[in-house]
Amino acid sequence: MAEKSTIIMEIRAGVGGEEAALFAGDLLRMYSRYAMNQGWKVEVFSMNKTDIEGMKEAIIEITGEGAYEKLKNEGGVHRVQRIPKTEKSGRVHTSTATVAILFKPSKTEIEIRPQDLRMETCKASGAGGQNVNKRMTAIRIVHIPTGMAVESNSERSLEQNKESALGLLAARMYSEKQKKLEAEIGGARNSQIGSAGREEKIRTYNFPQDRITDHRINKSFHDIENILDGKVEKMFDKIAEELN
């Protein structure tokens, strides 16, 4: 049986404006539904939505048996080619979104001293209704020695958001630590997401041809709609077979 693990996934819209934000939302749905189908726990740390149901950024935590092993290869730039909802002439556009996978360490692996933290509270802007938005429930934490800053705005209570933000901070600090120790191996956050340029892709989602191509293993998969609905096992298994 695979070991239970916790990862933090960061999904951000890249090149392509509103279409990139819509694609980032599609990736969030794909990973969330896959995780729930696996029986894993999914928690949203923060989310920044756009006006037309897109998403500029989302940070989620996924916990379950084998979560890290099954999702560790998803970090990188994902490219989509399709006709945007806002495109009247029917032209295919190319946009990107970035995914970063951070392993969440135990408290003994990363020590965060309270005296090294500066905390700021503000009104939550996420879902939850007017009562939530009237209270100072969102939090921003700055790790003073490194200048690293994290935010959490999704939970109803300040304590829940504080716990989420500290978990995210620990994951990012662990990633930086691993990056220094294993610079040539990769897997650190910055090497995964690059600058979100179209040329730094690990995978292309081509809607007109109903084809998803993973460029690291040079193999393609079909049935985009079902894959984006979380049915990714066949694709993930093949990528793991080739890369691990």
Q: How many domains does the chain have?
A: 2
Residue 206 or 138, more confident: 206
pLDDT attached to residue 129:
41
Mean pLDDT of 57-63: 92
Q: Point out the domain boundary residue: 134, 151, 181.
A: 181
Do 94 and 175 share a structural domain? no
Lowest mean pLDDT of 53-57, 164-168, 178-182, 184-188, name the range: 184-188
Domain CATH code at residue 216 = 3.30.70.1660
Do 69 and 132 share a structural domain? no
Q: Point out the domain boundary residue: 129, 150, 181.
A: 181
pLDDT attached to residue 9:
94
Do 212 and 92 share a structural domain? yes
Per-residue tokens: 163: 């716990």
Domain CATH code at residue 133 = 3.30.160.20
Do 14 and 59 share a structural domain? yes
pLDDT attached to residue 70:
92
Do 157 and 59 share a structural domain? no
Do 193 and 149 share a structural domain? no
Do 73 and 126 share a structural domain? no
Q: What is residue 211's three-state secondary structure?
A: strand
Do 137 and 206 share a structural domain? no
Domain extent at residue 74 = 4-107+184-243
Do 195 and 90 share a structural domain? yes
Do 103 and 31 share a structural domain? yes
Question: What strands, in cross-sheet order, belong to the sheet with 117-122?
Answer: 117-122, 138-143, 148-152
Do 95 and 122 share a structural domain? no
Burial of 243 (0-12, 13-18, 19+ CB in 10 A): exposed
Residue 123 or 192, more confident: 123
Computed over every residue of the chain, the mean pLDDT equals: 83
Do 191 and 157 share a structural domain? no
pLDDT attached to residue 173:
84
pLDDT attached to residue 79:
96
Half-sphere exposure of 180 (CA within 13 A, CB side): 5
Residue 103 has pLDDT above 90, yes or no: no
Q: Point out the domain boundary residue: 181, 206, 233.
A: 181
pLDDT attached to residue 195:
52
- Report the C-alpha gap between 49 and 57 in whole angstroms: 7
Lowest mean pLDDT of 25-29, 113-117, 208-212, name the range: 113-117
Residue 84 has pLDDT above 50, yes or no: yes
Residue 15 is given by DSSP the state S
pLDDT attached to residue 35:
96
